Chain A
Amino acid sequence: MHFLVLMRMVPDVIEELEIAPDGKSLDREALRLIASESDDHALEEALLLKERHGGRVTVVAPEAPEVDDLLYAAAAKGADRLVRLRGVNPGLGVPALAGSCVAALQSSAGLLPADLILTGAQTIEDLDGLIAPLVAFRLGLPYIGVVTAVTEIAEGKASVIKEFQAGYRGEFEIALPAVLGVQSAEKPPRYVPVAKVRAAMKSAKIEDVEVPQPVAQSLDGIEVLSMAKPEVAGRAEMLEGSPEEVAGKICELLAERGLL
């Protein structure tokens, strides 16, 4: 079995997000990037599947600051092949990113076929589309998103669990090869000690794959006018003081409403 995982670096929203001088985008200089959370779950699911079914895991990620850390961490967790995509223009949006990834996968030996292509269900920056269905569409493969488990792989098919709403889930059968948008893996992404990542830096190799030709398609039909802090109707009234003082104030609020 070949499990191919597409991963992306995204801004860490715990940090202050600065707007670039154009007023339309993030100031990429000031950003701290981390692996997209659901991509991390996609990797975990792929590693669990490799443990269960055998085979190999390839991780593919577009070049970005700190992406090497992501790739080496993946190797330390058990990924077999690490690929850094070069020549992806992050400013062109998700459809162009999907196009670039697919073109690169098709142009480089041994990346395809893959039995399952796994990636996150969504990232916090998917303004103009989700990458999983776009990759599936371009490869002509079936797709399902919000996946939380792959319960079975047999006879060219996989059984997957997908979340609906209000705690309802569904079990689906999907023909392989297929693309999955993973929401969360069956287990929390495994922890790797820094020492193991350091070891992977020495032993694992990151391959560079060039995106064949620049994908011309930009944010086709979408023009970003502005980016800013949300316009809000009202903000919370802030309670200040020591924990004890704040606790007293909250008690007052609750008492006023008959909740104490």
Chain B
Amino acid sequence: MAGSVWVVVEQWQGQINDISFEALALGRELADALQVPLEAILPGPQCSTLAGQLGCADTVLCADHAALAEPIPEVHAAALADLARQRQPRVVLVPATNNVWGVSTLLGAILGAPAVNFAIDLKASDGALEARCVLYGGKLETRVRLTKEPAIIGLWPGARPADQGRSERQPAVEQVPVSVPSDVRLRLKRYIEPEAGEVDLTREDILVAVGRGIQSKDNLELAEELAQALGGEVCGSRPVVDQGWLPLSRQVGKSGLTVKPKLYLALGISGAPEHVEGMKNSALIVAVNTDPQAPIFNLAHYGVVADALELMPALAEAVRARKG
């Protein structure tokens, strides 16, 4: 329906991603405030099996096109643009996952519509839409007003609890035809399974997480000793993995693992949104960082402004002493 709020639902291996439910929860609030319907757009096959989970929306628009089974950004963007031209939504919430990275930007470009990234909140204010976006690795936030419609919102994780977007209600389901480009120049050849890690970090109670702040591969030993003392495992942020200090199977965050340990000890990690999304639900987060302004302190339960290289051995020692 013209003027409605759209949430683009993302599935991964036949499951709807949590962030889609987060987007639905936010979309619901916004649609209610604007007094317009909330429509969930479900691209790709498996519409019939998945639509029933989207009762938070008034209507599910099933774009059941075989070409949308694969995560090809230009195909998804073209299909969404086609649908948006037909139906004139007011706002399109697109979850910012790696899977179809770039779709919200392409959609904005095709439609000549404003597209913002890093959004963590959206509300109606004096008849206009206002988004809150996290910039500079989480160090600053900006509030922006969207003055043209449709507004394309690249939604970052954590805007609302996913559970708030789940519903037992059965939504209305509508099959919608979409056209996709015929000359696609990008093709998925194969999926590559995760490197098998020797341990399943998602089951660990205690994780000692290291970031770029540990400065060199040699210093990993300090983290390993600490993890051993605590009875936990070592994991890390992206730069540590990019440097080859830890395997990809130990990366926490957007591209890596989502973990929920009883203790997440973040050492020399700034707290960039892409890292935070993988560990924000940990029961106890203790962060050690030399920078008192590090965004990780906005999330951690306890913080220490200190050199992680000094704290790690001291803590390992104290833990060993206590354990006797």
Contact = CB atoms under 8 A, between A and B. Distances in A.
Contact of B194 (A168, A231, A259): A168
Interface stretch (A83-91, A122-130, A207-215): A122-130
Interface size class of A (residues with CB under 8 A): 35 or more
Contact of A173 (B186, B239, B286): B186
Contacts of A171: 188-190, 192
A165 B97 contact: yes
Given A17-B136, A127-B118, A137 B110 contact: yes
Given A161-B192, A222-B146, A244 B314 contact: yes
A95 interface: yes
Interface residues of B, number: 100
Contacts, number: 271
Interface stretch (B38-46, B82-90, B170-178, B295-303): B295-303
Contacts of B117: 122, 126-130
A221 B113 contact: yes
A160 B57 CA distance: 37
A167 B323 CA distance: 35
A251 B185 CA distance: 56
A39 to B, nearest CB: 14
A78 interface: no
B99 interface: yes
A167 B249 contact: yes
Given A164-B12, A173-B187, A239-B303, A134 B105 contact: yes
A115 interface: no
B106 A133 contact: yes
A192 interface: no
B169 interface: no
B186 A127 contact: no
Nearest to A10: B136
Contacts of A260: 230, 319, 322-323
Contacts of A257: 262-263, 283-284
Nearest to B107: A133
Interface in A214-252: 219-232, 235-240, 243-244, 246-248, 250-251
Contacts of A170: 71, 188-192
B214 interface: no
Nearest to B184: A142
B301 A251 contact: no
B190 A222 contact: no
B246 to A, nearest CB: 12
B194 to A, nearest CB: 3
B195 A167 contact: yes
Main secondary structure of the interface of A (DSSP, over half): mixed
Contact of B137 (A16, A124, A229): A124
A244 B321 CA distance: 12
A259 B205 contact: yes
Interface string A7-22: 0000101101101000
Across the A-B interface, give the 5 residue pairs with the lowest CB-CB distance, nearest first. A167-B194, A221-B148, A221-B114, A236-B303, A142-B185
Given A41-B242, A124-B137, A221-B147, 19 more contacts: A13-B136, A24-B142, A127-B117, A127-B118, A128-B115, A133-B106, A143-B73, A164-B255, A171-B190, A184-B242, A222-B114, A225-B144, A232-B298, A235-B303, A239-B303, A243-B315, A246-B304, A246-B306, A257-B283
26 contacts: A13-B137, A26-B140, A95-B109, A124-B136, A125-B135, A128-B116, A130-B101, A133-B105, A142-B186, A144-B102, A161-B192, A162-B101, A164-B98, A167-B255, A171-B190, A183-B255, A221-B148, A222-B114, A243-B313, A247-B311, A247-B319, A251-B318, A251-B322, A254-B230, A260-B230, A260-B319
Interface of B: 12, 71, 73-74, 97-99, 101-102, 104-106, 108-110, 112-118, 130, 132-148, 151, 184-195, 205-206, 230, 238-239, 242-244, 248-249, 251, 254-258, 262-263, 270, 283-287, 291, 293, 295, 297-306, 310-311, 313-315, 317-319, 322-323
